[in-house]
Each structure stands twice: as C-alpha cells, then as structure tokens.
A and B are shown apart, each in its own frame.
Chain A
C-alpha cells in the first residue's frame, strides 16, 4: 500500500510576518495513509498546513503533489488539483445554510449525480447535518460546525485532505464520532494529514506521525512507536 507518494515537502521554509515559523521541513505522505502532525502551540503545525494548501507561500523549498510542484499556485488552484483543507477554528460560512456550505465545498465539481452521491455520504456520516440542512450554519453548535467543516472539505472529493485541529474546543462526547468519521473517510480512499492536540486519539487512528518543535521536525515514525515513546508520553499524553 505504501509505495506511491502523494505529497512531498522538500526543505520547506515559511515566514509568517517576521517570524520564521517553519524551518527546513521535509515531510512525505503515501497514498491511503493517515498521518498526524503533533506539536505544542506555536510549533508551526498550522503554518505547515497553510503552506501546503497555498494560503501561505514558502520562502524556499518545494512542494510536490502527485509529482507536480504546487508551491507557487494560488490556493484555489491547489484545491482544484485535489488537495482540500478544513481550516482551524472551523470557519464554516455562518451566513450560508448547511446545504449551501456543502455546495461551496463542491464548487469546482460539475457532475450532479456524483455530487448528490457525496451529499448522501456526508449526511450518513453526520446525520445532524441532514436534519438541519436548510438552517444557517451559525445556528450549529461548535461540534456540529466542526462536522460541517470536515464534510465541506470532503465535498471537493480531494485525493488528500488536510484537517486542522478537528477536535479543538468541542464536547468530548462528539470527539469520538469525529474520529470515527475520519477513519471512514480514509477508508473511502482519501489520504489524510491531521493536525491534532489530542495526541492519543490522533496517534490511534494514524499510520505515521511527525512531531514539530519550534518549526522543525524533531521526531517522526510509525504512530504505534510514538505512542510508546517516553518523550511523547511525557509531552503530549500526560503520563
């Protein structure tokens, strides 16, 4: 399964204003994987994701997606190539209905029957969204907005899905169902790059993980190994 590279970051440096937030990062993802990016606040996780999705431009280095360079493309073209990001803090369109939010996810697609199929899939994943289809997204709870953000990113039917902090600030009871959904999406063949605070849950669903410290990769390896790593246990797992 792990033979075809889908994403490769080669010596990526990104500056966020005056801050050198990402320093010489090398990272690779293979088709079908779930990979987690761990790190404390300010370690450069979100900056890395934004550099991949094109919201930020690297000051040096290369990003290859399915073999083609994407680091100079505007964000909407990167989405067009099959790489979607569900942004941190949910950022759903509060002034649009739930269905309209999902339609925006499918903005670049034109095959109506395929889109309808995917509506059915995300509604089966998150039945709450179907119940409230025609309501404005601002009426949803934090957890439901997170579900919508993930579903919306899924609707562009990307080959690679970037999820930024899907469990941040939501009720513990919903966290489980969100991770279950992430697994199901992965089983549909989507590769997933996950940024998470909840290291234990994230490592449990992931194949591999990278740990960022001060903008650099300080540790990487199979998720199972990292779960037993003493440093990780101390820093992220609380024991």
Chain B
C-alpha cells in the first residue's frame, strides 16, 4: 500500500514534467492567438494552419539538407509571411464588418489552408527530427529529456522577449496602444496597419517555431493545425484571451491536465479534458484566469 502510493507520486511527477513540456508548446501557439485577439479582437481560427505551413516549410528545408537552426528560421519566416498576407488580403477588408463576419471568415480561411495543404504537401504524415539529439536523464523514478528542458527554456526566453518588446521598445509600446484604442493610436501618428501586420507576423512566427519543436513528439500533416489550434485557443481563453501571460499560463494548465488525465485515468480522455476545463472557466470566470471582468464595450 505504502509502496504503491510512492509509485503513484513518482508517476504524477513524471506526468507533470511531460505536461510542462507539452504545455510550453501549447503556450507558444496560444501566444499568437492572444496577441492577434488583443490587437483587433479577432479569433484567428487559421492560426493553427499558419503553424502547419511553417512546419511544412521547415520540413522541406531539412529535406534540402539545411541545418536545423536554418530550418527553424525558414519555418518561422514562412508562418509569419503567410500570416501577413492573409491579414492583408482577407482580414483587413472585413475589419470593420463586425465580429460574426470576421469569425466566419477566419473559419473559412482555416479550412482553405487545410485543403490547400493536402493539395500541395500531400496528406501523408511527415516526420521532423528532434531539433537536438535526445538524451534522457534519470532522477530517481522520473525521466527528463534534454529536449523537454530545451523547449521549456525556449518558451521562457520567448516570454521574456515579448515582455521586453512590449515594455521597452517603441513598436511594442505602440502594440499596446493600438490594442487599447486603435483610433487614438492612429491620431498619435502610429501606422496602425503596420503594427497589426507586425503582430500577425510575430504571433505566426512563434507558431512556426512551435510547429518545429513539436517534431520530437508528433508527425506533421496538413490537418494538424485543427487539433493544435483548438488546444491553443482553449489555452488562450482559459488564461484570459488578449493577455500575454494568460496565454502562457493557459498553455501550461492544459498541457499538465492532459498528461495527468491521460496517465492516471484514460488516454482517450486526453482531448476531452481541455474542453472540460474550458467549460468550467467559461462558467466561473468567462474572462479567463488572468482576465479582468469588464463589460463589453458598446
């Protein structure tokens, strides 16, 4: 009995570690959702597809024998670029048409890229090798891999970078100003369209990075964005959409919960648990864990 309990604790610790690693990747993708939502109040359902396109381009870069760091940069740039193009051609013309048209457009864009992906890249799953050679360290009964540690370090670095960007650079402060009041920002002489493009680029580039880092646990395929995008969206809403630290927190919560439930209960419940958390949050605190309860602006 006593010994069983000790094993259970070790197991939990292991799931926790796996959950943190998984959660960092969700966080990375959730950041893009939350940044775009923060600046133009758009839930960009095509965000998962930006990730997919980045990962695909990264895959071809590796197949062309480019070294891993270059392939990651290729992935980030192609995700970012496709996001800028989509914003310019699809979202900008309907920016003032209200939320429902924007939402439907975003869903349509997402579907477009899923099938565009099947057409151009083929529907078969592809494998991206781990970005560093995997080494496993044992601490008592738990295993930690250097890949997991590296992912966590990269995500923490990204979070620090975003904090620095939004508080200590002109463009970052302008992003905050635009997210609060676009018209007033325009009156300051800020080219708000440029800031919005930059936000799309940055958010999607982080998704592209996430897509490449995910290579160590899963294969990539054109429909991957749907599942991942939905998880990241849930993470962003759970943490408080529009709030950068909220996206990170939500990502970690979803990642850890999934791994605990899959490990301790049934792995078929892995996908259900994130939505269960979402429903609880929407019932208890609809603005998210870090969100402020404010009335909708009229």
Contact = CB atoms under 8 A, between A and B. Distances in A.
A96 B184 CA distance: 13
A75 interface: yes
Q: Identify whether the interface residues of B are mostly helix, strand, loop, or mixed.
A: helix
Given A76-B191, A107-B170, A156-B189, A95 B184 contact: no
Contact of A104 (B179, B190, B191): B190
Contacts of B186: 54-55, 74-76, 79
Contacts of A107: 170, 174, 188-190
Nearest to A138: B180
Contacts of B177: 93, 96, 104
A103 interface: yes
Interface of B: 170, 173-174, 176-177, 179-181, 183-192
A80 B189 contact: yes
A104 B179 CA distance: 13
Given A76-B192, A94-B180, A95-B180, A103 B173 contact: yes
The 10 closest A-B pairs by CB, nearest first: A79-B189, A108-B189, A75-B186, A91-B184, A104-B188, A93-B177, A93-B180, A107-B188, A76-B189, A95-B180
Interface of A: 53-55, 74-76, 79-80, 84-85, 87, 91-96, 100, 103-105, 107-108, 152-153, 156
Contacts of A100: 173, 176
B249 to A, nearest CB: 19
B184 A93 contact: yes
B183 A104 contact: no
Contacts of A53: 187
A87 to B, nearest CB: 6
Contacts of A92: 184
A85 B189 contact: no
Given A55-B183, A91-B184, 7 more contacts: A74-B186, A76-B188, A84-B189, A95-B179, A96-B173, A104-B173, A105-B188
Given A93-B177, A96-B177, A87 B183 contact: yes
27 contacts: A53-B187, A55-B183, A55-B186, A55-B187, A74-B186, A74-B191, A75-B183, A75-B186, A76-B187, A76-B188, A76-B190, A76-B192, A79-B189, A80-B189, A87-B183, A91-B181, A93-B184, A94-B180, A95-B176, A96-B176, A96-B180, A104-B173, A104-B177, A105-B188, A107-B189, A108-B188, A156-B189
Given A96-B173, A96-B176, A87 B184 contact: yes
Contacts of B170: 103, 107
A94 B297 CA distance: 14
Contacts of A104: 173-174, 177, 185, 188, 190
A80 B187 CA distance: 9
B232 to A, nearest CB: 24
Contacts of A105: 188
Contacts of A153: 187
Contact of B188 (A54, A95, A152): A152
B35 to A, nearest CB: 14
B145 to A, nearest CB: 39
Contacts of A152: 188
A196 to B, nearest CB: 19
A55 B24 CA distance: 41
Nearest to B187: A85
Contacts of A55: 183, 186-187
A50 B26 CA distance: 43
Contacts of A95: 176, 179-180
Contact of A93 (B176, B189, B191, B192): B176
A152 B170 CA distance: 15
A197 B264 CA distance: 67
Nearest to B170: A107
Which of A80, A93, A156 neighbours the largest number of chain B CB atoms within 10 Å of its CB? A93
Contacts of A79: 186-189
Contacts of B179: 95
Contacts of B173: 96, 100, 103-104
Given A103-B173, A104-B174, A93 B187 contact: no
Given A93-B177, A95-B176, A104-B177, A75 B187 contact: yes
Which of A55, A75, A87, A96 neighbours the largest number of chain B CB atoms within 10 Å of its CB? A75
Contacts of A80: 189
A108 B192 CA distance: 13
Which of B170, B173, B179, B184 neighbours the largest number of chain A CB atoms within 10 Å of its CB? B184
A4 B177 CA distance: 35
Nearest to B193: A74
Contacts of A93: 176-177, 180-181, 184-185
Contacts of A94: 180
